[in-house]
Amino acid sequence: MKVLSDCRVLLVDDAKANLEILVEGLKAEHKLSLAMNGETALQLAASTPPDLVLLDIVMPGMDGYEVCRRLRERAETADVPIMFLSSLEEVHDKTRGFEAGANDYVTKPFDMLEVRARVRSLLKAKAYSDAVKEQMASELRIARDIQMGMVPHDFAAVEEAYGVSIGAALEPAREVGGDLYGVCAAGRNRLVVFLGDVSGKGIPASMFMVRAISLAQLLARDLVDPARILARLNDELAADNPSGMFVTLLCAVFEPGSHRLTIANAGHCRPVLLPANEPARWAVKSLGTALGFESGLEFERTELRLNPGDALILYSDGVSEAFNPQGQCYGNPRLLADAAGLAGESAAHITTGVLRNVRTFAGGAPQSDDVAILTLKVNGGAA
């Protein structure tokens, strides 16, 4: 935990005499930064983020209320404690200060002993809060490593054995998320791929995801029909689901000998079929029902032929429901059109191309949902 002598206090007051008093009273215990107006205060806070701000209200130009609001709007200073030191002592003045985001309010003339005590109290609270956040961040980084280790990244052995190429990407919106994908070599002539999306985000979704992906991998080795895989997985998830979470999942089985592709969908986004010599189209019509609500559900099967050069793109709704800064949604029509432009590319390039198109559309807008993409392409055909 950060020691108080290493904490930096930003002093903001247009009266030099007040700054001198504060400096004399605090310099022995903390690092100090000084500003005599609001603009300078914001510049200092941006270049050298403080651990605490002591802020006057009545100043030329930008007043303390506005400085406080702007500090709260910035990510780097949003949680920095702010204490007003002001000659304004009416209740409505103090109320405005707290509404602007202040943590404390002391009226002038102030007693330096009281100010020092309040400064220490606010700094201790922030140091403890920062320590807790760092511990949580460390645990989330470990959880992310575990989660990313649950999904495959090296497909060389599978690609050689089944005559396919595979490209996959997984980007949680937070440190950890609920999207998942899997590739399972279930037999000499049966390759199972699946991609899903757990309801919610964060730790609960990631824990449910781990359970779902583990069960799906086990069931894929024993069951041939993807509809049966989904039915059994649904029964397992629904049997013990106190949180009421659910997962949408698409499961596909590819048989390289016959080039038959069998797909079953449990409420997930429709995959894109990208034939080598035909327009891109949706691979299935039905969405089906998500897993985990109730046991005993049945799922439809769709059979296709995946010829050399053909590709199948599986993705989560973080792709189709990405938004740009103007609030526009990427949408299914744009996804299908953009995917058509990737025909002939390798599986890895198709996956990165879809991801690149979504990022370009989003234009820097924050990622609102987890993103998962998996492309399966049969070798041969168009280069």
pLDDT in the model for residue 1? 75
The per-residue pLDDT for range 109-120, each reduced to its tens digit, is: 999 999 999 999
Q: Classify 152-378 by CATH class.
A: alpha beta
Torsion 317-318-320-321 (CA) sign: positive
The per-residue pLDDT for range 232-245, each reduced to its tens digit, is: 999 999 987 777 88
Q: Classify 4-142 by CATH class.
A: alpha beta
The per-residue pLDDT for range 175-214, each reduced to its tens digit, is: 656 788 889 998 888 999 999 888 876 777 777 888 888 8
Residue 216 — φ and ψ, nearest 5°?
-60, -40
CA separation for the pair 42, 382 (Å, rounded): 58
The per-residue pLDDT for range 21-70, each reduced to its tens digit, is: 999 999 999 999 999 999 999 999 999 999 999 999 999 999 999 999 99
DSSP code for 89: -
Task: Classify residue 340 by burial, with Cβ atoms within 10 Å: 0-12, 13-18, 19+.
Answer: middle
The arithmetic mean of pLDDT across residues 82-103, rounded, is 94
DSSP code for 4: G
Sketch the domain layout of the chain as residue ranges. Answer: 4-142, 152-378
What percentage of the chain exceeds 90 in pLDDT?
Answer: 67
The per-residue pLDDT for range 294-326, each reduced to its tens digit, is: 889 999 999 999 999 999 999 998 899 999 999
Q: Where are the alpha helices (DSSP H) in 266-331?
A: 317-320
DSSP code for 94: H
